[in-house]
Chains A and B, each alone.
Chain A
Amino acid sequence: MTQPAPDAPAGPAKAAPLRAVASAAVREEVERGLFEVRKKVYPRAVTGWFATLRWAAVWLTQVIFYGLPWLAWNDRQAVLFDLGARKFYIFGLVFWPQDFIYLTLLLVTSAVALFLFTAIAGRLWCGYACPQTVYTEIFLWIERLFEGDRNARTKLDAAPLDGRKFAIKAGKHAAWVAFAFWTGFTFVGYFTPIKELGGAVLTFSLGPWETFWTFFYGFATYGNAGWMREQVCKYMCPYARFQGAMFDQDTLIIAYDRERGDPRGARGKKADPKSLGLGDCVDCGICVQVCPTGIDIRDGLQYECIGCAACIDGCDQVMEKMGYPKGLIRYSTEHAMQEHSGLGGIVRRVLRPRTLVYAAILAAVVGAGATALWMRVPLKVDVIRDRGALVREVEDGELENVYRLQVMNATESPHRYRIAVEGIPGIRVASEPVVEMAAASTRAFPVRIRVPGAEAKGGSQRILITVTAEDASGLQVREHAAFLSPRRGS
C-alpha cells in the first residue's frame, strides 16, 4: 500500500474519492500500530508444580522485603539506608558515600548475573522474582478472594453496578489499598528507622516527606499490581525488550510442542486422535486463559511471555485428564525441540561460549568486589594542608607545618587513634597525638608537625602520616603528605 504524500495539498474534487479510500486504509493501519486497545486479561487461577514454585518465590521475596527492616543488629536496624545521615547500614557493615565503588560493583554484578541467568534459563526473573509479577500475583489473589475466579470476574465486570457489585469492588479496593500502604510503609522503612516510623504512623505524626513517599510508593504498588499488571511488562519494562539479546537456541523457554500438538481439535476422551487426524492439543484454550499477559503460547515465543509457566501447569492438568503424556507445553530449548532431546540434551548445552563469557565476567566482578570488601579498612583519613600558613619557625629553631586531618571512623564503636609521622629525622607531632572519635562519625583535627631546623632541606619533602587505632588491631591508615620549608641561602 502506498502512503499518500504527506505534503499533498487537498486535491481536486475528482481525485478525492481515491485519496479518501487510500488514506482511510493507511489510517486504519497506523491506528492499529499506535493504539492497541487493551482487552482486560482475566487470568484463571492455576494449580500445579510451577504455581507452587511461584508462590514459594512470592513468600520468600516478600518475607525478606517486609521482614528485613524489622531485624535488629548491634542495637540498630540491621539493614538501613539512612539517607538523612548519609550512612548505609548492612548488617555488620557501615557504608559511606565514599564507598560508592561497592554500589557500582553491586549494580554491575546484578546486571551480569541477570545476563547469565537469562542466557541459561530465560526469563526466570520475570516469572518468579520480579516485584511486578510478585505483587500482581498477590493482588490477583486478593481479587479472587473478593470476586471469584475468571468466569465470576468476567460476569461481575459485565453486570450493571448494583449494591452487591459495589460492595465487592469496594472490599477489593480497600484490601488492595491497605496492602499497598503497608508496602509503601515498608519501603520507607528501609530509609528511615522503621520502628520510629511505625510509632509515628500510630500517633499520626509522620513527617511530611515520609508521608509523601509512603503514599507515593503505595500508590505505585496499587496502580501497577492492581490496574496496570501485564501492561507494565508489555509496554514499560526495558528488560522485556532487550532480554531477547541474551537468548540463543539453547536458552530455556516455555514452548508448545507443535509437532506433537497439531493439528489441534476437540475430541472425546475415548477418541483416538490419530484416527481423527488430530494431534494432542485438544484446543481447550486453558493455556490462554491462565496467561497473565493474555497471549497464546502456541503461536511460539513472544516477547510478552514472562516465563511464569502458568500455561505449563494448566496444560498438564488437561493432558492428565485426557490420559495423554504431560509436557505438551514445557520448559525446553529450541535445539532440544528440534532434536527431540530431553533434560540431558538441554543440560549438555548449558556450557557454551555465551554462558562461559558471562560467567567469567560475573566471577571477576564478584571476586573483585569480595576482595575489596575483605580488605576494606573501616577508617578513612584525608590529609589537607592548611592553606593559611605554609611554614612557620617556632621556638628551638624548629619549623612547623599545619595540616587538617579529616578522619572517618566507619566502625560502629568509638576508637582512640594515635597520629604518628615519619619521613624526616626528628620529625614529630607537636599537637595532641591521640584523638578520640565516636562510633560511625567523621571529624577534622588540626595537626601541627614540627621538624628540627637542621633537617629541613628546603622546598617540599615527603612525609608519611600514620593513623592507628590504639584499641583495635588492623585499624591503620597511612597517608603521604608534603612538608614545606624555606630554601636556604636563597
Chain B
Amino acid sequence: MLTQRIAWILWPAFLVACGMEVVFFTLFDPEDLHFLGAPLEASRMAVYSVGFFVFWAMGAASSFLTCFLQRSPWEVNRCPLPATERPEGCPKREGPCC
C-alpha cells in the first residue's frame, strides 16, 4: 500500500518532470538565468540536472496533495490498513476493527 502510494506520487511526477525539462530548457538557456539577482554560476549540465529534480519535486508535491485529498471519508475516519500491516505499537493491531 505504502509502496503503491509512493509510486503514485513519484511516477507521474517523473513523467511530468521529463516533459518540463525538455520544454523549459529548450526555451531558456541556463546561462541566461539569474538566481537571487545574480547570474547562475553553475555549468549548464548542473543546471539541467538540478532543474530536473526541482521539476520532479514540484510534480511530486502536486501528486502528494492529490493522493492526500482523494482519500475517501472512510479512509480518513478509519485506518484502511489491515490489522497485521499496522505500524508497531498501534493499539489497533489486534482486535476486530477500527
Say how far A453's CB is from chain B's closest CB, in angstroms. 40
**CB nearest to A24 among chain B residues:** B97
Q: How far is the CA of A7 from the CA of B46 in the complex (A)?
A: 51
Task: Determine the chain A residues whose CB is within 8 A of the CB of B76 once the complex forms.
Answer: 6
A20 touches B96 (CB 8 A): yes
- The stretch of B33-41, B58-66, B77-85, B86-94 in contact with A is B77-85
Assuming A7-B77, A100-B27, A238-B15, is B44 touching A83 (CB within 8 A)?
yes
Contact-residue bracket for chain B? 20 to 34
Interface string of A200-214 (1 = CB under 8 A from B): 000000010110110
Provide the bound-state CA to CA distance between A84 and B29, in Å: 10
User: A103 and B1: CB pair below 8 A?
Assistant: no
Interface presence of A3 (CB below 8 A): yes
Chain A: minimal CB distance from B90 (Å): 15
Q: Is the CB of B74 within 8 A of A30?
A: yes
Min CB distance B38 to A, Å, is 21
Asked whether, in the complex, the Cβ of A27 is within 8 Å of the Cβ of B77, the reply is no
By the criterion CB–CB under 8 Å, are A30 and B26 in contact?
A: no
Residues of B within 8 A of A163 (CB): none
Docked pose: A236 CA to B13 CA in angstroms = 12
Query: Which residue of B7, B25, B45, B49 contacts A235 across the interface (Cβ within 8 Å)?
Result: B7
Assembled-state Cα–Cα distance A213/B49 (Å): 9
Nearest CB in chain B: distance from A207 CB, A = 8
Q: Which residue of B lies closest to A19 (CB)?
A: B97
- At the interface, is chain A mostly helix, strand, loop or mixed? helix
Structural contact, A209 and B45, CB atoms closer than 8 A: yes
**A-B pairs with CB below 8 Å: how many?**
60
Closest CB in chain B relative to A19 CB, distance in Å: 8
User: Measured between C-beta atoms, what is the minimum distance from A127 to chain B in Å?
Assistant: 22
In the complex, chain B residues 1-51 whose Cβ is within 8 Å of any chain A Cβ: 1, 4, 7, 11, 15, 22, 25-27, 29, 43-46, 48-49
Query: Are B1 and A35 within 8 A (Cβ)?
Result: yes
Within 8 A of B (CB), among A1-47: 3-4, 6-7, 20, 23-24, 26-27, 30-31, 34-35
Could you say which residues of chain A place their CB within 8 Å of the CB of B29? Answer: 86, 97
* A contacts with B, residue count (CB < 8 A): 27
Q: Are A97 and B26 touching (Cβ within 8 A)?
A: yes
Using an 8 Å CB-CB cutoff, how does the interface string of A81-103 with B read, 1 for contact, 0 for none? 00110100000000001001001
Q: In the complex, which residue of chain B has the Cβ closest to the Cβ of A207?
A: B45
Question: Is there contact, CB below 8 Å, between A6 and B72?
Answer: yes
> Which B residues are in CB contact (< 8 Å) with A3?
74
B-chain residues with CB within 8 Å of residue A100 when the two chains form the complex = 26-27
How distant is the Cα of A6 from the Cα of B77 in the complex, in angstroms?
6
Further 15 A-B residue pairs, CB within 8 A, beyond A3-B74, A24-B96, A209-B45:
A23-B97, A26-B74, A30-B75, A31-B80, A83-B44, A83-B48, A86-B29, A86-B44, A97-B27, A97-B29, A207-B45, A209-B46, A235-B7, A236-B7, A236-B11
Counting from the closest, the 6 A-B pairs by CB-CB distance are: A6-B73, A209-B45, A20-B96, A6-B74, A6-B77, A100-B26
- Some 26 contacts from A to B, beta carbons below 8 A apart, are A3-B74, A4-B74, A6-B72, A6-B74, A6-B76, A6-B78, A7-B73, A23-B97, A24-B96, A26-B74, A27-B80, A27-B82, A27-B97, A30-B75, A31-B82, A34-B4, A35-B4, A83-B44, A83-B45, A84-B45, A97-B27, A213-B49, A235-B4, A236-B7, A236-B11, A238-B15
